Amino acid sequence: MTMIRILLVDDQTIIRQGLRSLLESQADFQIVGEAENGKIAIALVEQLDDTPEQPDLILMDVRMPVMDGVAAIKKLSEQFSSLPVLVLSTFDDDEYITQAMQFGAKGYLLKDTAIEEIANAIRTAIKGYTQLGPGLFQKFLTTSSQHHYPLSQELATTLQALSPREKEVLSLIAQGASNKEIALKLYIAERTVKAHVTSILSQLNLRDRTQAAILATQYRALLGDREF
């Protein structure tokens, strides 16, 4: 079994203690450190880099003193771009969600999320996928749609050149559907959906499915005016 090493970042000691206890009940999780703010978290990542306790993922709050989660995510994405950060917060403010995701967070969950869902989100983020809590995807998508991807001739041509199936998959991604949900909707295997998603991201030069959803929402006409 491959262990997932996690760094916890939250300004409340009792929250960190509770998370440590709950997460360490998962056989594949190991807590390698704790930090009370973003500045300490970055220092810990630097300290643990290239050691056996180097974290595979950071579970981070957003509202913290000294350096908040959003600022820390931005700095971490510049210094440690391959290290996924998953936000776990009490706050579902549009600004927090949008900034965290745009600066590179691999997901955003609320603290009332069940531990099983948090654990699954961690495993999903490790695989490179984005995870947003219930209701947060549409909130993020609505806010982010105000930030347009410029429609170059190259982008327009690439969007139109997607296969009919890829366009269907992209439209469903924009609705917040998971790979499993897309597979059920289109009556295809989940591994086939994964292959389509990988192909779409590669062709459009996008980082993840969240960016794909924003793009699809902005330029739905190029996907055949499918209902979102």
- Find the angle CA(88)-CA(43)-CA(76) to the nearest 5 degrees: 55
Helices 115-126 and 13-23 pack at an angle, to 10 degrees, of 80
pLDDT, position 13: 95
How does DSSP classify residue 223?
G
pLDDT, position 228: 44
pLDDT, position 142: 55
Nearest to 6 by CA among 100, 65, 85: 85
User: Beta strands of the chain (E only): which ranges?
Assistant: 4-9, 29-35, 57-60, 85-89, 107-110, 131-132
pLDDT, position 169: 92
* Domains detected in the chain: 4-143 (3.40.50.2300), 153-223 (1.10.10.10)
pLDDT, position 15: 94
User: How many other β-carbons are positioned within 10 Å of the β-carbon of residue 31?
Assistant: 18
In tens digits, the chain (228 residues) has pLDDT values of 789 999 999 999 999 999 999 999 999 999 999 999 999 999 999 999 999 999 999 999 999 999 999 999 999 989 998 899 999 999 877 778 878 887 888 888 889 888 998 999 899 889 877 777 655 555 555 555 555 556 677 877 888 889 999 999 998 888 778 888 899 999 999 999 999 999 999 998 887 777 787 778 777 766 765 444
pLDDT, position 25: 93
